[in-house]
């Protein structure tokens, strides 16, 4: 499959509430021979309205310019973005040091541009990793946070939910961690 830099428009409403929604949206990009850096552009309802190919890499790496990501996000008037890239040769995905550093760089720019980075998902042949679920980044968007809370609750991750609520409270998100009195 041949890829070129640019944005593919998404017709209709495609709600993104959790990482699995992103994986389903990008099913056609699953079995690639080279690394791609994709950016999903979201509106205020967390509906995807575009998929940007920000960079095309080699079999083992992919370099991209953060300014390209945000230039497109500003032009498209995106209310939030999600980064996605693949590790085509890995059966079990483990984020590299470069993956984490790139994510932190995009996160810093997202704060300055006021276009939240909700997640960075790395996809392998057999699995994927969400930086948000792993606690590398934490979105400030309340809808995504609540849906992540439901995701954790279904899987019995009570400690992660408590940590998530504490982080939101520290960031001024208005959530307060309280215990119910019996």
Write out the residue range of the structural domain in which residue 88 sits. Answer: 6-138
Residue 16 inside a domain? The answer is yes
152 is a domain residue: no
Strand partners, 40: 51, 82
User: What pTM does this model have?
Assistant: 0.74
Residue 159 forms part of a structural domain: no
- As a whole number, mean pLDDT of residues 36-61 equals 85
pLDDT above 60 for 97: yes
Report if residue 36 sits inside a domain: yes
pLDDT at 153: 62
Please check whether residue 132 lies inside any domain of the structure. yes
Does 180 reside within a domain? Answer: no
pLDDT, position 82:
93
- pLDDT higher than threshold 80 for residue 66: yes
- Is 68 part of a structural domain of the chain? yes
- Give the pLDDT band of residue 84 (cuts 50, 70, 90): very high
Distance between CA atoms of 124 and 87, rounded to whole angstroms? Answer: 5
- Please report whether residue 133 resides in a domain: yes
Residue 177's pLDDT band (cuts 50, 70, 90): very low
User: How far apart, in whole angstroms, are the C-alpha atoms of residue 5 and residue 126?
Assistant: 26
Strand order across the beta sheet in which 6-9 lies: 6-9, 48-56, 36-42, 80-86, 117-123, 128-130
Our count of domains for the chain comes to: 1
pLDDT in the model for residue 83: 93
101-114: average pLDDT: 86
**What is the domain-level CATH number for residue 125?**
3.40.140.10
């Amino acid at each position: 499959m041949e890829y070129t830099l640019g944005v593919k428009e998404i017709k209709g409403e495609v709600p993104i509430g959790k990482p699995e929604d992103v994986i389903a949206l990008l099913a056609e990009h699953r079995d690639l021979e080279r690394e791609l850096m994709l950016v999903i552009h979201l509106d205020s309802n967390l509906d995807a309205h575009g998929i940007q190919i920000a960079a095309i890499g080699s079999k083992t790496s992919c370099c991209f310019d953060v300014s390209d990501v945000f230039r497109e996000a500003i032009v498209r008037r995106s209310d939030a973005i999600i980064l996605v890239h693949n590790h085509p040769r890995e059966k079990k995905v483990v984020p590299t040091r470069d993956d984490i550093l790139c994510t932190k760089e995009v996160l810093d720019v997202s704060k300055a541009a006021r276009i939240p980075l909700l997640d960075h998902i790395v996809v392998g042949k057999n699995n994927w990793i969400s930086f948000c679920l792993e606690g590398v980044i934490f979105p400030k968007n309340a809808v995504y946070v609540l849906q992540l809370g439901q995701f954790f609750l279904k899987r019995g991750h009570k400690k992660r939910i408590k940590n998530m609520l504490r982080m939101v409270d520290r960031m001024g998100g208005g959530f307060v961690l309280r215990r119910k009195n019996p």
